[in-house]
Amino acid sequence: MRIVLTADRLIGSGGAIDQPVLVIEDGLIASISSRAESELPSGAQPLHYPGATLAPSYLDVHIHGSAGRDVMEATPDALNTVSRFLAAHGTARYLATTVTAPVDDTLRALSGIARHIAAQPAGGQARILGIHFEGPFISPHRRGVHPPEHIQLPGIALFDRMFDAAEGHARLMTIAPEQPGALELARHAISRGVRISIGHSNATVAEARAGLAAGAVSATHTFNAMRPFDHREPGIIGVTLTTDTLFAELICDGVHTAPESVRMWWRCKGPQRAILITDAMAAAGMPDGIYRLGSMDVQVKDGKASAGDALAGSLLTLNRGVSNLIAFTGAPLEHALRAASINPASMLGLEGDPDPLAPGQPANLVAVDPAGKLIASIVRGAVVAN
């Protein structure tokens, strides 16, 4: 099928085009031009979004589930359900994110996710790019909702078992750099192609900087599950906010981070290093009730997911994260879009990939209004939300 897509503006990694004309054939981008350069092709299905901006679809590097399903179920039905939900909310790619659990449960989940990645459908839903290990190598003092009995000291042997179970699909690992053995493990994981994010950590400034020196490239959900900031010992938060080269995730839902904290993060990290994530769990898109996060039961009520006194992931979608960022900070639309698409790809080392909006690439796009509200989500040329 041939589709011609038009809007007021297109924003990609190469810049902006006014009055774009984007031709899609068989799910791939065939050409990109402007109304000033070319006429609309005949014989194509028109999709016109007046007043909208087109941009690359979103990439969520930290998500546990949605639509009532958890990625650690690791079944095709569960993962396809999550992938369809994400596609309808503007996310075309994501990292299936594990949570600290019994080792055997984790290995089973990693194996199931790996099998699904190899066989996942080509279009119509979000694609799993790989796996994010959030735990078990975290601080018991900043564990959040992660079960303390399953937290492990950083160890190469256990990591290698997890890496092997993931069958080469491990992309990112959260680690507390102050834990014994963490720096050695970080260097080992990097040597195997896994990116390191510091988080769930009680690290001092010196300990956090040691994690960066070992090769960490990002920080996990800034402010949450981190040693509190102190003006004499700023800790991991101080290092995260003042290290210009470090990427930093944020859950921009107004629950995990107040608007004032979002503004602080945005001013420090800016449009080049800020990464929007959801940290969403199975309850995203669902009514109040009891849902699973790994091996845990989570209570969802009045827009919050909690287990005991701790927040247990979010109910956020990235399209709302983008519009929240604009509302909380006044960020320009193109910068907010970048934080949900280009920046996470750069953090993962995907900047060497072809431009996501270029001829020959999958037609994965969002159409948004000036406030960042999602108007349409297009995955491999198919409109999955409009």
Indicate the Cα dihedral angle 188, 190, 194, 197, nearest 10°.
100
How large is the angle between the packed helices 205-213 and 235-242, nearest 10 degrees? 50
Spatial distance between the Cα atoms of 250 and 252, rounded to a whole number of angstroms? 6
Q: pTM above 0.85?
A: yes
pLDDT digits (tens, 9 = 90+) for 282-318: 999 999 999 999 989 999 998 899 988 888 899 999 9
Q: What percent of the chain has pLDDT over 70?
A: 99
What's the mean pLDDT in 31-60?
Answer: 91
Which of the residue ranges 46-55, 266-275, 345-354 would you say has the lowest mean pLDDT? 345-354
Domains of the chain with CATH codes:
2-55+356-385 (2.30.40.10), 58-352 (3.20.20.140)
Is the pLDDT at 41 greater than 70? The verdict is: yes
Q: Give 351's pLDDT tier (boundaries 50, 70, 90).
A: low
How many CA atoms are closer than 13 Å to the CA of 94, on its beta-carbon side? Answer: 33
Distance CA 272, CA 286 (A): 33
pLDDT band at 192 (very low <50, low <70, confident <90, very high): very high
DSSP 244: T
pLDDT tens-place string over residues 110-151: 999 999 999 998 778 999 999 999 999 999 999 999 999 999
| Predicted pLDDT of residue 354 | 63
Distances in Å between the Cα of 183 and the Cα atoms of 110, 162, 286, 302 are 23, 18, 39, 40
Residues 298 and 290: beta-carbon distance below 8 Å: yes
Residue 364: pLDDT band (50, 70, 90) is very high
Question: What mean pLDDT do residues 314-325 have?
Answer: 98
Q: Residue 32 and residue 180: Cα distance in Å, rounded?
A: 52
**pLDDT, average across residues 338-357:** 87
For residue 288, the Cα-to-chain-centroid distance in whole angstroms is 24
User: What Cα–Cα distance (Å) separates residue 348 from each residue in 122, 217, 226?
Assistant: 22, 9, 22
Mean pLDDT computed over 329-341:
97
pLDDT at 277 (0 to 100): 98
Query: Minimum mean pLDDT among 13-22, 101-110, 162-171: which range?
Result: 13-22
- Own/partner pairs, 336-340, CB within 8 angstroms, 24+ separation: 336/276, 336/372, 337/11, 337/53, 337/55, 337/56, 337/366, 337/368, 337/372, 338/271, 339/271, 339/274, 339/275, 339/276, 340/58, 340/59, 340/60, 340/276
51-79 confidence digits (pLDDT tens): 999 999 999 999 999 999 999 999 999 99
Structural element, H or E, at residue 158 = helix 156-165
Give the residue carrying structure tokens 């060497």.
352
Active site annotation includes 279? yes
CA 326 from chain centre, in angstroms, equals: 18
pLDDT value at 323 more than 90: yes
Which residue in 18, 279, 302, 353 is the catalytic one? Answer: 279
Q: Which of 1-15, 152-166, 227-241, 309-323 has the lowest mean pLDDT?
A: 1-15
Task: Please check the confidence at residue 8 and state whether its pLDDT lies above 70.
Answer: yes
Confidence of residue 26 (pLDDT cuts 50, 70, 90): very high
